[in-house]
Amino acid sequence: MKCLWAVVLFTLLSARAETTLRSGPQRVSLLEVYTSEGCSSCPPAESWLGGLKGDSRLWKEIVPVAFHVDYWDDLGWKDRFAKQEYSSRQRAYSIAWGTSSVYTPGFVLDGQEWKGWFDGSTLPGPTDRPAGKLEVKVESRVAKITFSEPGAKELEAHLVPMAMDVNSDVHGGENRGRRLVHSFIALDLVSGKLADKNGELTVELPFDYAAAKAVAVWVTQKGSVEPVQAAGGYLK
């Protein structure tokens, strides 16, 4: 009997409460930061990114994501959050912009390179134009994404579960001996085509990430890197 109650209690504690996050009809910006634990220039950028947790624009006007790249991993320290697909994503941006190299920290704002962080510029806000309403509902290991915009078609949804407030003790590479603090860490990147269902554009994506504390979602035209709309927030 005690064993049965232990199983029931574990199930209740491990189950994630339903979370529904929505954008308004106005445009919300997607901010991507490409970073690495092996890069000595990255901790200040990540500290700045973490500061967005106290910014009133968070989730309402700005949805941030930190993608850890893997091209620093052979230089003395392997970043446990790095993925080759994130490096490929950054390189795809570089090709789209007509440049020949990638670097960290690298900032991408709504699909365009943003260098304002390096000179202390204020992060620009999104345009005031309507961009459609985006909603994500996370429940029972599934994320249901719905987008409402008249006439929209050939759209793809992209979902990133994110870890928050994670410490890493680095024992090699350029940050040897430092304790790094990360937020908005991409744990995965999952995409799917939105399909018309009873007059709504929707897609269901798997969502089974015990370490996720927040989620970012955005919609693009098929074959485009520029977000049409973004949404995000903390998970319950």
pLDDT at 153: 76
pLDDT class of 5 with cuts at 50, 70, 90: very low
Give the mean pLDDT of 111-132. 92
> Which are the contacts of 72, defined by CB distance < 8 A and separation ≥ 6?
36, 37, 38, 39, 79, 82, 104, 173
d(CA 158, CA 211): 19
d(CA 70, CA 88): 10
Alpha carbon 116 to its chain's center: 20
Give the mean pLDDT of 18-25. 94
Is 15's pLDDT higher than 70? no
pLDDT at 140: 87
Express as a percent the part of the chain with pLDDT over 90. Answer: 80
User: How does 37-54 read in b/e, with b if 16+ C-beta sit within 10 Å?
Assistant: bbbeebbebbeebbebee
Residue-wise pLDDT tens digits, 170-183: 999 999 999 999 99
DSSP state of 61: T
Q: Residue 11 falls within a domain, yes or no? A: no
Q: Residue 2 falls within a domain, yes or no? A: no
d(CA 48, CA 98): 28
Give the mean pLDDT of 193-218. 94
pLDDT at 6: 44
Give the mean pLDDT of 90-107. 94
Residue-wise pLDDT tens digits, 138-153: 998 999 999 998 667 7
For residue 57, the SS3 value is: coil
Q: Residue 19 falls within a domain, yes or no? A: no
Is 22's pLDDT higher than 70? yes
Is 14's pLDDT higher than 60? no
- CA neighbours within 13 Å on the CB side: how many for 55? 18
Q: Residue 207 falls within a domain, yes or no? A: yes
Q: pLDDT: is 154 or 77 the higher one?
A: 77
Is 13's pLDDT higher than 60? no
pLDDT at 17: 79
Overall domain count for the chain: 1
Q: Residue 16 falls within a domain, yes or no? A: no
Average pLDDT of every residue of the chain = 91
pLDDT at 8: 42
Question: φ, ψ for residue 139 (rounded to 5)?
Answer: -160, 135
pLDDT at 234: 98
Residue-wise pLDDT tens digits, 36-95: 999 999 999 999 999 999 999 999 999 999 999 999 999 999 999 999 999 999 999 999
Q: Residue 112 falls within a domain, yes or no? A: yes
Q: Residue 8 falls within a domain, yes or no? A: no
Give the mean pLDDT of 94-100. 91
Expressed as residue numbers, the domain containing 227 is 24-118+128-234
> Which are the contacts of 79, defined by CB distance < 8 A and separation ≥ 6?
36, 37, 38, 68, 69, 70, 72, 73
Q: Residue 3 falls within a domain, yes or no? A: no
Taking the CB of residue 95, how many other CB atoms lie within 10 A of it? 10
pLDDT at 11: 45
Q: Nearest Cα to 23, choosing from 207, 217, 158, 186?
A: 217
For residue 129, the SS3 value is: coil
pLDDT at 162: 98
